[in-house]
């Protein structure tokens, strides 16, 4: 009887110790599956989802995938879907990304395209390891992926249809945490209509 009790007690202790590891626990990006956050305010609906490396690989593969190989910084890709009951304007340069106490603006579609043009067409692009790293890549294919998926620097949305696309953010930190993304929307006259605030785990 004592032997049985001792064995049960030892198993209980091992279970407790397995659940208590020292230090902060983090979820690896490649294993995370971020949820979709949807806000509906002022007749406007916006949904946002962080796309991690695994999700980007599953969607685009590894060849001609500009989102996995960006080397300027850690690239955060957030997929947005927007719908409005009246005409509104989205200006990417006005979006604010606050992460680990540092605020920044999105990487524009133009700058992102120019980065890849230099990386794929300039043999001496030292920052990316030169052209040989991407010898099987096609710049036209990369540009097509960017234009089809990254939101333009300015977007006028008509009432009714939904508009989807990525916003890109470059961050220096490799830590994982919660980002605060503020997305203001404007009337075509330039007047600010509303600000949407998303808290997104990245």
| Complete domains list, the chain, with CATH | 31-201 (2.60.40)
The conformation of residue 22, written as its DSSP 8-state character, comes to S
Segments of the chain with pLDDT less than 50: 1-32, 125-128
pLDDT at position 175: 75
User: pLDDT tens across 61-120, in order?
Assistant: 999 999 988 877 789 999 999 999 999 999 999 999 999 888 999 999 999 999 999 888
Distance, C-alpha 169 to centroid of its chain: 7
22-35 residues labelled b (16+ CB within 10 A) or e (exposed): eeeeeeebeebebe
Query: Helices 139-149 and 109-121 sit at what angle, rounded to 10 degrees?
Result: 170
pLDDT at position 131: 52
Catalogue the E-assigned strands of the chain: 37-41, 44-51, 74-84, 88-91, 96-99, 102-104, 154-157, 163-171, 178-186, 192-201
pLDDT at position 202: 87
pLDDT at position 113: 96
Please give the radius of gyration of the chain, using alpha carbons only, rounded to the nearest integer.
22
pLDDT at position 171: 86
pLDDT at position 27: 32
């Amino acid at each position: 009887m004592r032997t049985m009790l001792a064995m049960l007690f030892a198993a209980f202790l091992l279970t407790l110790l397995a659940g208590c590891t020292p230090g902060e626990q983090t979820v690896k990006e490649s294993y995370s599956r971020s949820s979709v956050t949807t806000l509906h305010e002022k007749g406007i609906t916006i949904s946002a989802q962080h796309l991690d490396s695994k999700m980007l690989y599953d969607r685009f593969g590894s060849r001609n995938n500009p989102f996995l190989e960006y080397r300027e910084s850690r690239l955060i890709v957030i997929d947005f879907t927007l719908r409005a009951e009246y005409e509104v304007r989205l200006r990417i340069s006005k979006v604010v990304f606050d992460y680990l106490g540092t605020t920044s603006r999105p990487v524009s579609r133009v700058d992102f395209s120019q980065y890849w043009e230099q990386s794929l067409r300039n043999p001496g692009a030292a920052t990316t390891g030169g052209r040989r790293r991407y010898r099987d890549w096609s710049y036209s294919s990369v540009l097509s992926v960017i234009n089809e998926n990254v939101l333009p620097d300015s977007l006028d949305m008509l009432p009714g249809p939904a508009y989807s696309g990525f916003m890109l953010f470059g961050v220096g930190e490799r830590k994982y945490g919660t980002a605060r993304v503020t997305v203001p929307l404007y009337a075509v006259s330039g007047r600010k209509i509303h600000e949407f605030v998303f808290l997104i785990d990245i």
